[in-house]
Amino acid sequence: MAPSGCMLPPSSSLPPLSTLAKLSEQQIFEAIQGLSALYCPLPASVAFKLSPESNSLSHPASTPLVDSGYTSGTEDDNLDATHEKSLDALRADGFERSFAERWLTGFMARAYDLPGLGSEDAQDRALDQASWVLESFVVSTANQDELNDDHSDFMREFSFQLAVPGRQQEVPVDVRLNDGLAGKNSTDCDDVGLQSWGASIVFSDLMCAEPSRFGLTQPKLGTSPRIIELGAGTGLVSLVLAAMLPHLGAAKSDVIATDYHPAVLDNLRANIATNFPLDGPVSVHTSLLDWSAPVLDSPLDLPADILIATDVVYAPEHAVWLRDCATRLLAPDGVFWLLVTVRQNGRFEGISNTVEEAFATTDRPRGEDGRLLSILSSEKLEKRGSVGRGDESGYRLFRLGWA
Q: How far apart, in whole angstroms, are the C-alpha atoms of residue 115 and residue 342?
A: 24
- Least confident segment among 24-38, 178-192, 253-267, 326-340: 178-192
Q: What is the CA radius of gyration of the chain?
A: 23
Write out pLDDT tens, residues 93-128.
Answer: 878 888 888 899 889 888 888 999 989 889 988 998
Per-residue pLDDT, 306: 98
The pTM is what?
Answer: 0.62
Write out pLDDT tens, residues 305-335.
Answer: 999 999 999 888 999 999 999 999 999 999 9
**How many H helices and E strands in the chain?**
13, 10
CA distance between the termini of the chain: 68
Q: Which residues pair with 257 in a beta bridge?
A: 229, 286
Query: Highest mean pLDDT range out of 34-43, 179-188, 391-400?
Result: 391-400
| Helix-helix angle 94-110:73-92, to 10 degrees | 70
Contacts of 16 (CB under 8 A, 6+ apart): none
Strands 155-162 and 171-178: antiparallel
Among candidate residues 154, 164, 117, 129, the one with its CA nearest the CA of residue 22:
117
Per-residue pLDDT, 399: 98
Percent of the chain with pLDDT over 70: 77
- At 83, the pLDDT band (50, 70, 90 cuts) reads low
pLDDT top residue among 76 and 87: 87
Helices (H), 25-170: 25-39, 73-92, 94-110, 120-136, 144-148
- 232-246: average pLDDT: 94
pLDDT(210) > 80:
yes
Instruction: Label residue 388 left, alpha or beta by phi (over 0 means left) and psi (-120 to 50 means alpha).
Output: left
Per-residue pLDDT, 389: 63
- 236-246: average pLDDT: 95
| Domain boundaries along the sequence of the chain | 10-137, 155-402
- 9-21: average pLDDT: 90
pLDDT(49) > 60:
no
pLDDT(385) > 80:
no
Domain 155-402 = CATH 3.10.105.10: no
Q: Are 299 and 256 in contact (CB under 8 A)?
A: yes
Q: Which residues pair with 285 in a beta bridge?
A: 256
Q: Which residues pair with 375 in a beta bridge?
A: 400
Q: How far apart, in whole angstroms, are the C-alpha atoms of residue 203 and residue 217?
A: 17
- 283-300: average pLDDT: 93
Q: How far apart, in whole angstroms, are the C-alpha atoms of residue 218 and residue 379?
A: 25
- 286-296: average pLDDT: 94
Per-residue pLDDT, 386: 62
Per-chain mean pLDDT for the chain: 80
Per-residue pLDDT, 252: 86
- 41-66: average pLDDT: 37
pLDDT(75) > 50:
no
Say if residue 249 is exposed, middle or buried (CB neighbours under 10 Å; 0-12, 13-18, 19+): middle
Q: What is the largest CA-CA distance in the chain?
A: 81
- At 180, the pLDDT band (50, 70, 90 cuts) reads low
- At 214, the pLDDT band (50, 70, 90 cuts) reads very high
pLDDT(255) > 90:
yes
- 340-365: average pLDDT: 88
3-state secondary structure of 355: helix
Strands 330-343 and 171-178: unpaired
Order of all β-strands in the sheet with 373-382: 283-288, 254-259, 226-229, 304-310, 330-343, 392-402, 373-382
Per-residue pLDDT, 9: 87
